[in-house]
Homo-oligomer: A and B are copies of this chain.
Amino acid sequence: MTEPGSGPPLRHVLAADQFTPELIAELFGSARAMDSRLGGPALSRLHGRLMATLFYEPSTRTRLSFEAAMLRLGGQVVSTENARDFSSAIKGETLEDTVRIVGGYADCIVLRHSEEGAARRAAAVSPVPVVNAGDGRGEHPTQALLDLYTISSELGRLDGIRLVMVGDLANGRTVHSLAQLMASYRGVEMTMVAPDPLRMGADLVASLRRRGVVVREADSLMDAVGEADVVYQTRIQTERLLEPLSQDEGERDRYRVTPQTMARLPQGSILMHPLPRVGEIDPAVDADPRAAYFRQARNGVPVRMALLAAVLSA
């Protein structure tokens, strides 16, 4: 069976800044080829290869997406969501020991952990490639890649994008990684819409500007949406944003997407959200063809297929 292009070889996948525009172009070519084959005859590119998911905290969405990617390439999966309770005899084996053992069973490890830096610690001792599926406030590079792939697929380009980012821009690793990846492309403009305590950090904004991004701020989403190619709505964590704002419905509505927001969004533009959402987007918006967030979630599969193919063909 002819297999789609494999993309470039990779070993550990730890951070978004590993991905240059050249590497991204190759990976996305591979992802598109795989995407077009889904639903056709089964792929067998990773037949005989075994992936372990080692999750120290639940993230069913991310785990299922990685597992679907591996299985759709003809590979197999062993899985645990309870990596913290790795044994009945002892709680608290070190991450390093667990990774060395699981690396003896499988050909790669997909790691989810609550501590920043856990993926690098794992990669330092692992006999097989480690793919970071989120390590606390650290990185979640495959989420950043699927976000970028979505923009590329939906708009047909990554240069000259006008990106409006809304919500909690202080804490979201998703939006930080996406902003940094986007900064590698030409003619990018970003408009930030966030309540004062949740504005994007000055260091990151300065770094984006040094790299040539035009960065603006806006008071409300309504003010910014008319000029957007992409509105990226981030998860608003209840404890950080909604509670202090809940007394003031008007304040809260400055960051929500409603049919009225969509009425101002240009025709060829899209609305993205990393999901899950909890009230930031009115469900009435779902039927709008510009609401791209479920397509964005689905894109996790071909992007992770391309990554796993690259990692396991190294």
Chain A interface residues toward B at CB < 8 A: 41-43, 47-48, 50, 52, 57-61, 63-65, 67-68, 71-72, 76, 78, 80-83, 85-90, 92-93, 96-97, 100-102, 104-106, 114, 235, 237, 275-278, 283, 294-295, 297-298, 300-301
Q: Can you show 11 pairs from A to B with CB atoms below 8 A apart?
A: A50-B71, A58-B88, A59-B87, A60-B83, A61-B87, A86-B276, A89-B237, A93-B275, A97-B276, A101-B294, A104-B297
How far is B63's CA from A61's CA once the two chains are assembled, in angstroms? 19
In the assembly, what is the distance between CA of A64 and CA of B87, in Å? 11
| Smallest beta-carbon distance A277→chain B, Å | 7
Q: How many Å lie between the Cα of A63 and that of B278 in the bound state?
A: 29
Inter-chain contacts of A78 with B (CB < 8 A): 64, 67-68, 71
Closest Cβ–Cβ distance, residue A242 to chain B (whole Å): 12
Contact A298 B105 (CB under 8 A): yes
Q: What are the residues of chain B within 8 A of A68 when measuring CB–CB? A: 50, 52, 78, 105-106
Q: CB-CB < 8 A to A105: which residues of B?
A: 64-65, 68, 298, 300-301
A83 to chain B minimum Cβ distance, whole angstroms, is 7
Whole-angstrom distance between the Cβ of A259 and the nearest chain B Cβ: 18
Q: Which residue of B lies closest to A101 (CB)?
A: B297
How many copies of this chain does one complex carry? 3
- Contact partner of A277 (CB less than 8 A), chosen from B58, B97, B237, B297, is B97
Known contacts A78-B68, A105-B68; A85 and B100 CB within 8 A of each other: no
Chain B residues with Cβ below 8 Å from A275 are: 93, 97, 101
Closest chain B residue to A76, Cβ basis: B71
Give A105 to B296 CA distance when docked, in angstroms. Answer: 11
Question: Once bound together, how far apart are the Cα atoms of A286 and B85, in whole Å?
Answer: 23
Residues B48 and A88 in contact, CB atoms below 8 Å apart:
no
| Given contacts A60-B85, A101-B61, A278 and B93 within 8 Å (CB-CB) | yes
**Minimum C-beta distance from A282 to chain B (A):** 13
Residues on B with C-beta less than 8 A from A60 are 80, 82-83, 85-87
- For the complex with contacts A52-B64, A86-B276, A100-B294, 10 further pairs of A-B residues with Cβ separation under 8 Å are A52-B68, A58-B86, A58-B87, A59-B87, A63-B80, A64-B78, A87-B276, A89-B235, A90-B276, A104-B297
State whether A58 touches B42 (Cβ < 8 A): no
Of all chain B residues, which has the CB nearest A100? B294
- For the complex, what is the distance from the CA of A294 to the CA of B105, rounded to whole Å? 11
Question: Nearest Cβ in chain B — how far from A16, in angstroms?
Answer: 18
**For the complex, what is the distance from the CA of A312 to the CA of B83, rounded to whole Å?**
30
- Are B41 and A48 in contact, CB atoms less than 8 angstroms apart? yes
Task: Report the minimal beta-carbon distance from A303 to chain B, rounded to whole angstroms.
Answer: 12
A72 B88 Cβ-Cβ under 8 A: no
Q: What residues on B are CB-neighbors of A96 within 8 Å?
A: 283
Whether B104 pairs with A276 at a CB distance below 8 angstroms is no
Q: Which residue of B lies closest to A71 (CB)?
A: B76
Complex Cα spacing A237 to B89, Å = 8
A76 contacts across to B, CB distance below 8 A: 71
